[in-house]
């Protein structure tokens, strides 16, 4: 009998395989912890969040500001760049305050259709303590569309994002 068939015929091994397939064994392949919920849905470009823009600058200066590689911080599988050491330290103290809503995907698309659409980091809005990012190309700027029906789109975007986090 070869070792492979011996393992497959072992009752303990068969039980473990069945338990794994049914999701009965706890572990990273079976469940995602609450603090990391939605992490796999974050808009990253080569592991970089917000295309290298400083998330704190949106709040402190109400402007999109490119961060620098020498002010980088890795948080929950995403690397953030900051324009200054001061901004990096502010983020470290309270990352949830500065992280973009909807994983950094376009807020309008998340609200309108529930789709994850890339963003232009220079097209943004800070509203009620949230950083909202939007898609913007030559012929399509989604920020004005969001502003026309903000309350409804925001509510729908929140629901769509919860669905992504809870289902996927």
pLDDT at 134: 99
pLDDT over threshold 50, residue 27: no
Average pLDDT, the chain: 83
pLDDT at 39: 54
pLDDT at 41: 80
φ, ψ for residue 141, nearest 5 deg: -115, 115
8 A C-beta contact, residue 40 and residue 46: no
- How far apart, in whole angstroms, are the C-alpha atoms of residue 144 and residue 115? 18
Q: What is the mean pLDDT of residues 41-69?
A: 95
8 A C-beta contact, residue 55 and residue 84: no
Q: What is the mean pLDDT of residues 106-124?
A: 98
Count of alpha carbons within 13 angstroms of residue 16, beta-carbon side: 8
Percent composition of the chain: helix, strand, coil (DSSP 3-state, to 5): 50, 25, 30
8 A C-beta contact, residue 81 and residue 67: yes
Which residues lie across from 79 on neighbouring strands?
A: 48, 74
- How far apart, in whole angstroms, are the C-alpha atoms of residue 60 and residue 69? 20
Q: What is the mean pLDDT of residues 70-85?
A: 96
pLDDT over threshold 50, residue 64: yes
pLDDT at 165: 86
Which of 122, 120, 80 minimizes the C-alpha distance to 97? Answer: 80
| Stated pTM of the model | 0.76
Q: What is the mean pLDDT of residues 21-32?
A: 36
- pLDDT-derived band at 20 (thresholds 50, 70, 90) equals very low
pLDDT over threshold 90, residue 12: no
Pairing of strands 44-45, 48-49: antiparallel
How many residues appear in the chain? 168
């Amino acid at each position: 009998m070869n070792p492979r068939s011996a393992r497959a015929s072992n009752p303990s091994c068969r039980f473990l395989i069945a338990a794994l397939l049914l999701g009965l064994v706890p572990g990273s392949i079976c469940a995602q912890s609450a603090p990391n919920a939605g992490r796999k849905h974050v808009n990253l470009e080569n592991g970089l969040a917000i295309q290298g823009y400083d998330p704190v600058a949106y709040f402190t200066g109400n402007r999109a500001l490119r961060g620098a590689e020498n002010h980088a911080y890795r948080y929950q599988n995403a690397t953030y760049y900051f324009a200054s050491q001061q901004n990096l330290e502010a983020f470290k103290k309270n990352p949830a305050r500065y992280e973009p809503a909807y994983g950094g995907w376009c807020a309008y698309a998340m609200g309108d259709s529930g789709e994850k659409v890339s963003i232009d980091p220079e097209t943004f809005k800070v509203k009620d303590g949230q950083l909202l990012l939007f898609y913007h190309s030559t012929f399509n700027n989604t920020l004005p569309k969001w502003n026309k029906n903000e309350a409804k789109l925001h509510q729908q975007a929140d629901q769509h994002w919860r669905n992504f986090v809870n289902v996927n």
